[in-house]
Structure 1
Amino acid sequence: MIVKKIPAGVYEANCFILVDEDTKEAAVIDPGGDAEDLMEAVEKVGAKVKYILLTHGHMDHTGAVLQLEERYKVPIYINKKDYDLMKNGEYIYGNIGKIDKFLNEGDIFKIGNIEIKCFCTPGHTPGGVCFLAENLVLTGDTLFAGSIGRTDLAGGDFDTIISSIKNKLMILPDEITVLPGHGPQSSIGRERIHNPFL
């Protein structure tokens, strides 16, 4: 699997492009801004975008969705709880237009021979999710290297995010690489030992 990380937008949210090496099918996760740069990265690896997947609805993770959807004509997936907040005009939530595909616990997306599994991890937002692909977990703003996502924004809840991390992420093997929504990568094992919130 080819993994491209592009810190995008003013908040440098990590956008990840996952590409199956054989078929070049790809998923774009959290395109937060700098749409031209993201599309250039897709073209450089010769990827064929199949899905746009969103870990949550904040604008720094959704800022380039409309441009990518217009270019690639692919479905956009987000959890319904975050989409409802976006529709209701919560100021920190982005605008991604009309969605008719919602993420649910256990959903599996295939790019070539690679399976990307969705699991719900509310706390940073009510509809936050993470994605597991081979030996990687893409955690959005749920878990960072040495920290966790903010819970003081609309829809956030500290007890809920801690429960999500402990019950969904910390049950994964130590060697799983953590690809967070901001900052450097980590591993489940490293966070289990060194993350002060856990």
Structure 2
Amino acid sequence: MLTIGFPAAAFGTNCYVLATGPGEDCVVVDPGIGVEDQVAEVCREHRLRPTAVLLTHGHLDHVYAVTPVCGGDTAAGVPANPAYIHQDDRYRLVDPIAMLDDGLVEMLESQFGRRATWREPERVVTVIGGEHLQLAGLDVAIAHAPGHTEGSVMFTIPRLPDQLGDGSGLSATCLSGDVLFAGSIGRSDLAGGDPAAMERSLREVVLPMPDDVLVLPGHGPQTTIGRERTTNPYLQGLKA
């Protein structure tokens, strides 16, 4: 699986472009702040055709560029690609900027030298846990894992990045959003967060996953379920 990840221009949010190979359709996961040009460059370099955007949750730093990355031109009759998000976070796509405090908005506008604006995606598809999506030749399993937000999800694909090769000993790739990081987890003290729900998600969704699953998180470096099971302090003492 062609897998290209890079950080957004703010908050170190990881954006990923996934495809079965060069010259094929692709999906974009969590297009955060200022990633439009890099997504376009990746697609040009590898001759990829974006067909969908997957959102692990609705926080601004993971969705800010979703509308331009989805593309489309209403005036020209060119439909936008769909954006997939869990039904419980759908409301966040109405205007995620309005959910930020004024100080954070001012900081963003100061950093980028322009007013923060938002346009809701034209095509939004809501999903639920347990669904499987067939997108760009990839089988994407959705696990609902609330706690960071109400509609946080993890996407698992039974393929591995090409650069790992066949000798990695791994079996699948999980895009964990802000549920699980290398050595940490997403915070649950923001609006819509729930510490009890986060603990349940870790216990009932994360811990049952096989050790040989590669984890591509929403922030920070990649890891594996096995590594986090033995070293992540937030998983210690939990039983699946």
Structure 1-normalised TM-score? 0.91
Is structure 2 residue 38 aligned with structure 1 residue 37?
A: yes
Equivalent residue, structure 2, for 1:14: 14
Query: Aligned to 1:77, which of 49, 64, 84?
Result: 84
Equivalent residue, structure 1, for 2:106: none
Equivalent residue, structure 2, for 1:97: 120
3-state SS, counterpart of residue 71 of structure 2: helix
Measure, in 1, the Cα distance between the counterparts of 2:146 and 2:10.
24
Equivalent residue, structure 2, for 1:186: 223
Measure, in 2, the Cα distance between the counterparts of 1:63 and 1:87.
12
Measure, in 2, the Cα distance between the counterparts of 1:96 and 1:183.
28
Shift of 1:39: 1.4
Deviates more, 1:167-176 or 1:82-91: 82-91
Measure, in 1, the Cα distance between the counterparts of 2:70 and 2:6.
18
Change (3 A) 1:48 1:85: closer
3-state SS, counterpart of residue 101 of structure 1: strand
Shift of 1:179: 0.5
Measure, in 2, the Cα distance between the counterparts of 1:95 and 1:119.
28
**How do residues 8-157 of structure 1 correspond to structure 2 at under 5 angstroms?**
8-21=8-21, 24-34=24-34, 35-70=36-71, 73-87=80-94, 89-91=98-100, 95=118, 97-98=120-121, 99-134=123-158, 135-157=172-194
> 1:120-174 deviations in whole A, cap 9, x for unaligned?
1100000101100111000000000000001111011112112112211221110
* Matched-pair contact (CA < 8 Å) for 1:20–1:111: no
* Matched-pair contact (CA < 8 Å) for 1:121–1:129: yes
Shift of 1:100: 3.7
Identity %: 35
Query: Aligned to 2:232, which of 191, 195, 198?
Result: 195
Structure 1's unaligned 5+ residue stretches are: none
* Matched-pair contact (CA < 8 Å) for 2:85–2:124: no
* Matched-pair contact (CA < 8 Å) for 1:124–1:155: yes
**How do residues 169-184 of structure 1 correspond to structure 2 at under 5 angstroms?**
169-184=206-221
Shift of 1:9: 2.3
* Matched-pair contact (CA < 8 Å) for 2:22–2:47: no
Compare the two structures and name the one with the higher strand fraction. 1
4+ residue segments displaced more than 6 Å: none
Structure 2-normalised TM-score? 0.76
* Matched-pair contact (CA < 8 Å) for 1:9–1:60: no
Q: Could you say which structure has the larger radius of gyration?
A: 2
Deviates more, 1:12-21 or 1:76-85: 76-85
Change (3 A) 1:186 1:107: same
Equivalenced residues, count = 197
Shift of 1:112: 4.7
Structure 2's unaligned 5+ residue stretches are: 73-78, 102-116, 159-171, 236-240
Measure, in 1, the Cα distance between the counterparts of 2:51 and 2:131.
15
